[in-house]
Structure formats: structure tokens, C-alpha cells
């Protein structure tokens, strides 16, 4: 593979915040694998003054940066304490970029969850997996003062859905802002967020499904069965839900997106809508075989489901190819195949600037929710 051209980038940082003057300021980005304390820019100067750092050997293309004071708890924020998207620049030559410090995230309340978010159970028991996991629930603002019943969305990776305080990520604690999205919408829903396993390997095993007996280490089928036969009945008993198929959705991203797709096929009479975000389709070959099975196609034809597929055009596969756009190509090919092998209503959402991460899923969820509420779910 031909090596990309490299350039020098000067980062000019002006301080507008009276906080943390004299403390070290670091630059983290995609050029140093998002090491929060990787490159020291200098000490934070007095208000109105600036520091500058030169970055060398920066590859051409998108350069993404964030400022920290040494770890992800001390990220730069906007003046209101919200984390910002990375500064992004298209590097095509030696260049200078300008950044302004307005505030620091740790100077504001750690939790960003709205009052509608509650811990359903710190240790909800999933019997088939034989594990206890935290589960969160979002209840609409009018839940306590009305007698209405609400549609329900079941979501994976619950740590990242509602609150920066529980979110983790390669580039900092970015949350999906599910609660803010519904708070600001004229439509309401209950959202159930299920925490993923504490380690990457455990999460991977629980989010992968073995449709044959060859992979006994995959536990996704047990996890989905626990949602369908244990968690969902509990939610329907204890909350005013619209429990019917048409009012029940599942949303997930990456491996959780692939798992959501499996859930729609495996439990087509339970989940009426599936939000499939950035799925790892290259490891889902057995799904193609299942969709071509006559029995599966007959079952799917009886369930008028809705599928919302999202992908970013700049996402890269994590296998050997790693070519930007390849995940989008995978998605387009699968959606064509899926339309030919099911009777589902399909929406395909491709973000031309989208990359693999919560910042983009946050925006995609807002579009998904607006689209979902236009379907026959109430």
C-alpha cells in the first residue's frame, strides 16, 4: 500500500476560561490513537493568551483533535459543560489551526442524564446468561401524570445511552443523548437500556450469535432470549407499555447492530422495528444463509416489520481490509439482499461524513426516532 503524504500542523490554542490556568494542556487525536495524555501542548495560559504546538508527520486526510488536562475526565467542553465533537480538519498541506478553550467538562455536574432516566436495577438477573447486569429505563416526562401506554425501545450498550458519567469511548465519554432526543420530541416512548459486559471479550461473546453448533462460545442467542422471555415480560408487567409487536423496537450499533438484526429475524413476532446502526456485517455470513431459508422467509412474510439501517460513509471495517467506504458498500449490498428476501419496510440512512462512533450514532438515533414515530406504533 502506498504511504500517505505527511505534513506539519501548527495548533494555536487561545484560552477564554478562568479555570485551570497553569495546569498542563494535552492534545489527543486520531493521529496518536486518542491517547488522552499523549502530547503536551504546554500549560494553560491566562485568559486571552495562547500557546502553540507543532504536530509533525500528520497524514493527509481528516485530522481530529480534542484537548484534555491529562485524562478523559478533564476534556475541554463548550461554555455550558457539554462535550463537543472533535475539531476536524482536512489536511492537504502544511497548515495552521486555531482552537479556543471556553470551559472544561469536569467543572460541571458529572451526570448529564435527564430526570426521566432511572436505574431499573443495578443487578437485573439474566437467567440464561446467568449474569446480573445494570438496566436503565427512560420514562416519558408525562408518565407519572397520565394513564397513557407507551411504545418501548430495547437498546444495547446501556452505559452509553443517557449519561456521560457512565459512558466510555476511545475518544472520550460520548453519550447517545437518547433522553435529550425524546425530551425534545413531540412523541414519547419508554427506553430500556441494558448494560454490556464489563470486558471487551465478554461483550463480544454476548453480542455474537452462533446459528450453527460450530461456535459454542457465542452467547448472543442466550442474551436475546433473556430479553424476550425475562426482561420484556418484566417491563410489560411493571410499566404501562404498548406491549404489542408493532410498538416494540430494538436498537443497537456495531456488534450490537448485528445482534439487533439477528433479533429481528429470530423474533420477528416480538420486535416490530429494528434500528440497525453500523453493523459488523462481514462477520454475519450465517445470517445470509438463514434469510434464504424457506421457513425463515415464510415467517418474515407474516410479520410486517420496519428496519432502519444506518451507516457512515467513512466507517472502516475492523478486519484486514480497512478501506473507508467498505462498510457502506457492505450495507448497501445487504439491504438489497434483505429487500429481496423479506417483506419488511426498509429505510437506509447513509451519512456521507459518518464515522464509527457514538457521536454519529447520537445523530442517527434522533433521525431514527423521528422516522419510527411516523410508523404505525401507537
CA angle 70/62/27 to nearest 5° reads: 15
| Long-range CB contact pairs, 253-257, < 8 A, 24+ | 253/156, 253/157, 253/277, 253/278, 253/279, 253/358, 253/361, 254/278, 254/279, 254/280, 254/356, 255/203, 255/204, 255/207, 255/208, 255/279, 255/280, 256/156, 256/157, 256/196, 256/207
Rg (CA), the chain: 22
Where exactly are the structural domains of the chain? 6-107, 117-372
DSSP conformational letter for 75? B
pLDDT value at position 212?
47
- Note the CATH number of domain 117-372: 3.40.50.1820
**pLDDT tens for each residue of the chain, 378 residues long:** 567 899 999 999 999 999 999 999 999 999 999 999 989 999 999 999 999 999 999 999 999 999 999 999 999 999 999 898 999 999 999 999 999 999 999 999 889 999 999 999 999 999 999 999 999 999 999 999 999 999 999 999 999 999 999 998 877 889 999 999 999 999 999 999 999 999 999 999 999 987 544 556 789 999 999 999 999 999 999 999 998 999 999 999 999 999 999 999 999 999 999 999 999 887 766 777 777 676 666 666 667 899 999 999 999 887 655 565 688 999 999 999 889 888 899 999 999 999 999 999 999 999 999 999 999 888
Helix (H) or strand (E) segment spanning residue 260: helix 255-266
Grid cell at residue 327: 462498510
Helix (H) or strand (E) segment spanning residue 291: helix 285-292
DSSP conformational letter for 57? E
pTM above 0.85, yes or no: yes
Architecture of the domain whose range is 6-107 = Sandwich (2.60)
Distance, CA of 252 to CA of 129 (rounded, Å):
19
**Pairing status of strand 24-29 against strand 39-43:** antiparallel
Asked if 14 and 48 count as a contact pair (C-beta separation under 8 A), the reply is yes
Alpha-carbon distance values, 298 to 13, 48, 291 (Å) = 61, 67, 10
Residue 22 region, left (φ>0) first, then alpha (ψ -120 to 50), else beta?
left
Amino acid at each position: 500500500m502506498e504511504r500517505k503524504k505527511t505534513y506539519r500542523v501548527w495548533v494555536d490554542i487561545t484560552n477564554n476560561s478562568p479555570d485551570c490556568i497553569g495546569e498542563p494542556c494535552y492534545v489527543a487525536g486520531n493521529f496518536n490513537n486518542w491517547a488522552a495524555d499523549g502530547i503536551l501542548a504546554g500549560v494553560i495560559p491566562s485568559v486571552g493568551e495562547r500557546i502553540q504546538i507543532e504536530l509533525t508527520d500528520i497524514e493527509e486526510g481528516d485530522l481530529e483533535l480534542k484537548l484534555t488536562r491529562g485524562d478523559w475526565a478533564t476534556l475541554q467542553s463548550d461554555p455550558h459543560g457539554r462535550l463537543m465533537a472533535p475539531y476536524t480538519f482536512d489536511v492537504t498541506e502544511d497548515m495552521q489551526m486555531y482552537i479556543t478553550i471556553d470551559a472544561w467538562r469536569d467543572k460541571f455536574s458529572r451526570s448529564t442524564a435527564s430526570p426521566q432516566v432511572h436505574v431499573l436495577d443495578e443487578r437485573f438477573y439474566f437467567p440464561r446468561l446467568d449474569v446480573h447486569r445494570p438496566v436503565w429505563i427512560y420514562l416519558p416526562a408525562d408518565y407519572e401524570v397520565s394513564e397513557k401506554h407507551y411504545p418501548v425501545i430495547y437498546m444495547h450498550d446501556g452505559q452509553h445511552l443517557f449519561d456521560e458519567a457512565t459512558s466510555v469511548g476511545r475518544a472520550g465519554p460520548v453519550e447517545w443523548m437518547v433522553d435529550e432526543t425524546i425530551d425534545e420530541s413531540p412523541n414519547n416512548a419508554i427506553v430500556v437500556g441494558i448494560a454490556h459486559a464489563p470486558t471487551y471479550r465478554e461483550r463480544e461473546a454476548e453480542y455474537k450469535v452462533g446459528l450453527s453448533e460450530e461456535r459454542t462460545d457465542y452467547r448472543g442467542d442466550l442474551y436475546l432470549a433473556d430479553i424476550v422471555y425475562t426482561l420484556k415480560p418484566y417491563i410489560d408487567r411493571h410499566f404501562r407499555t404498548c406491549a404489542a409487536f408493532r410498538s416494540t423496537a430494538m436498537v443497537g450499533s456495531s456488534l450490537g447492530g448485528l445482534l439487533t438484526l439477528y433479533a429481528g429475524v429470530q423474533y420477528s413476532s416480538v420486535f416490530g422495528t429494528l434500528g440497525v446502526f453500523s453493523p459488523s456485517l462481514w462477520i454475519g455470513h450465517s445470517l445470509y444463509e438463514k434469510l434464504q431459508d424457506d421457513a425463515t422467509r415464510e415467517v418474515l412474510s407474516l410479520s410486517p416489520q420496519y428496519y432502519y439501517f444506518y451507516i457512515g460513509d467513512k466507517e472502516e471495517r475492523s478486519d484486514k481490509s480497512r478501506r473507508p467506504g467498505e462498510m457502506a458498500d457492505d450495507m448497501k449490498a445487504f439491504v438489497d439482499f434483505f429487500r429481496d428476501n423479506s417483506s419488511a419496510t426498509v429505510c437506509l440512512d447513509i451519512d456521507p461524513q459518518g464515522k464509527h462512533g457514538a457521536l454519529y450514532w447520537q445523530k442517527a438515533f434522533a433521525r431514527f426516532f423521528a422516522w419510527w414515530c411516523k410508523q404505525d406504533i401507537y
